[in-house]
Amino acid sequence: MATHCNPDRIAAAAAVDEARLWSRLVEFGEIGAIGGGGVCRLALSDEELAARRYIAGWAHSRGHRVFVDAVANLFVRREGTDPAAAPVITGSHIDTQPQGGRFDGAYGVIAGLEALAALDEAAVQTRRPIEVVAWTNEEGVRFTPGAMGSMVFSGALALSDIAGRRGSDGVPLSGALASALAATPQATFRQTVRPIAAYVEAHIEQGPELEAKGIPIGVVEGIQGVRWFDVDVVGSGAHAGTTPLARRRDAFQDALRIVNALNEWTSDPGDVLRFTVGHVEVTPNSRNTVPARARLGIDLRHPDAGVLREKGDRIAAIAAGAARHCEVCVREVFTKAPATFDRQVIDTIETAARLLRIPSLRMPSGAFHDALFLNDLCPTGMIFIPCERGISHDPAENITAAQAAAGARVLAATLVALAD
Ligand code: GLV
Ligand code: MN
Ligand code: MN
């Protein structure tokens, strides 16, 4: 990297305004606020559409152009001196878990907007355009798969293959996307962007390491792989008071047998393999009726592609073998192999932190991010900041204004370097 851009990187980082960034994060966290400091802003919900309007309104007030694509990914563009040059993209997602926090995803988008403001105020001109993106439906709660926007953008998923899907609330995805496009009329429709010079995503760590070590910046080297399975267990409904055990086909009892068998199959004394049953549905979910159906939502993760393949490939057979009375159907609804980020982007982030005299640590990511899919498209990296007690996907998720600002400074300096 040319050293002549050092002053620009330092000037851009210095123009990051901690108070402004924090007040925006707080304001943004009020969109879809729930009790206990949390946020419920499910993908393409009314709350998430309000968050889109907030971003588009901010961009408009600062004279940036806004673009949107068919899967409703929303882009804010700061022009470079060479408008034809491939852009550098930063950002994250603005949807949350049902009982989510204020910073998972939102931090990366708002930090990206702060970086654009800082570049403006420091009068830093970059050769490449810089775009801040809010990817659609990273969390995968209301619609599957997660990381939907970045999957479609990167070509890992065809929108036509999922357009017929419905959300967990029965709303068709196609209708929800149309509402999202209508929510930001100032955005110009854009099919796709190619090539992309680089992608860098700022995010809270969602784990305890940075806080425990007192290090403000994580330079992410890669992301572990993930596989999601839906397990449908189909039995028969019956009266809870009158039906002898021998005549029951209790879907929930078989679901428990399946979970026990899978716990055994995925047990890992080293605690590297992550197996979670985070979603359980019991139908009809009535105390005095033997459950006729059960659905389990499984999340399986490991940094080694071979282990993830071996462990995931046997899930259907183990589930079928564990059920005593019911039929079992297993569908894989989301898969991504582990990713290793681009060496040069990693170096650029690390160099930016060093230049700004902010201590950093190289680390892997246990959570997945949109960067997982961008990594297949262009040189990609991520910047982590600590979060309180490593908690996320919960209203207790928290960061400090100083931690937010440190991440935005490193992001601003990194963008300047990548866009030079
Ligand atoms: C992202 O939210 C993940 O589940 O890792
Ligand atoms: Mn996230
Ligand atoms: Mn998340």
The span from the CA of 231 to the CA of 319, in Å, is: 8
Ion ligand 3: residues, Cβ under 5 Å: 104
Ligand closest in space to the Cα of 278: 1
Tell whether the model's pLDDT for residue 2 goes beyond 50.
no
Per-residue pLDDT band for 1 (boundaries 50, 70, 90) equals: very low
Per-residue pLDDT band for 266 (boundaries 50, 70, 90) equals: very high
Per-residue pLDDT band for 394 (boundaries 50, 70, 90) equals: very high
Is 197 in the same domain as 254? no
Is 261 in the same domain as 405? no
Is 257 in the same domain as 374? no
CATH number, domain at 286?
3.30.70.360
Per-residue pLDDT band for 112 (boundaries 50, 70, 90) equals: very high
Domain stops at, among 321, 336, 351: 336
The span from the CA of 203 to the CA of 383, in Å, is: 6
Ligand 3 centroid, distance to 234 Cα (angstroms):
30
> Which pLDDT belongs to residue 379?
98
Q: Residue 367: CB within 6 Å of ligand 1?
A: yes
CATH number, domain at 121?
3.40.630.10
Ligand closest in space to the Cα of 134: 2
> Which pLDDT belongs to residue 5?
72
> Which pLDDT belongs to residue 207?
96
**Which atom of ligand 1 has the smallest separation from the CA of 367?**
5
**Which atom of ligand 1 has the smallest separation from the CA of 226?**
5
Is 401 in the same domain as 307? no
Per-residue pLDDT band for 83 (boundaries 50, 70, 90) equals: confident
Is the Cβ–Cβ distance between 292 and 284 less than 8 Å?
A: yes
Is 187 in the same domain as 265? no
**Dihedral, CA of residue 363, residue 367, residue 373 and residue 379, to nearest 10:** -20
Residue with tokens 């400091």: 37
CA nearest neighbour of 125 among 75, 63, 85, 79: 79
**Percent of the chain topping pLDDT 70:** 99
Domain stops at, among 336, 354, 369: 336
Helix axes 343-355, 401-418, angle to 10 degrees: 120
> Which pLDDT belongs to residue 51?
98
Is 245 in the same domain as 104? no
Residue with tokens 């601003």: 412
> Which pLDDT belongs to residue 176?
98
Q: Residue 334: CB within 6 Å of ligand 1?
A: no
Is the Cβ–Cβ distance between 309 and 193 less than 8 Å?
A: no
Phi and psi based region of residue 32 (left: phi greater than 0; alpha: psi -120 to 50; beta: remaining)? left
**Percent of the chain topping pLDDT 90:** 98
Question: Bridge partners of 78?
Answer: 130
> What's the mean pLDDT when you consider all of the chain?
97
Range in 2-11, 18-27, 83-92 the model is least confident about: 2-11
Domain stops at, among 336, 367, 389: 336
Is 230 in the same domain as 220? no
Total domains, the chain: 2
Residue bearing the CA closest to ligand 1, atom 5: 367
> Domain limits at 56?
3-224+338-419
Per-residue pLDDT band for 4 (boundaries 50, 70, 90) equals: low
> Which pLDDT belongs to residue 41?
98
Is 156 in the same domain as 290? no
Is 296 in the same domain as 414? no
What single-letter amino acid sits at 388?
Answer: E
> Which pLDDT belongs to residue 22?
98
Ion ligand 2: residues, Cβ under 5 Å: 104-105
- Structure tokens, 305: 């592609």
Under DSSP, the state recorded for 163 is T
Is 236 in the same domain as 212? no
pLDDT tens, 128-183? 999 999 999 999 999 999 999 999 999 999 999 999 999 999 999 999 999 999 99
The span from the CA of 366 to the CA of 302, in Å, is: 8
Is 74 in the same domain as 162? yes
Question: Bridge partners of 132?
Answer: 76, 90
Is 312 in the same domain as 366? no
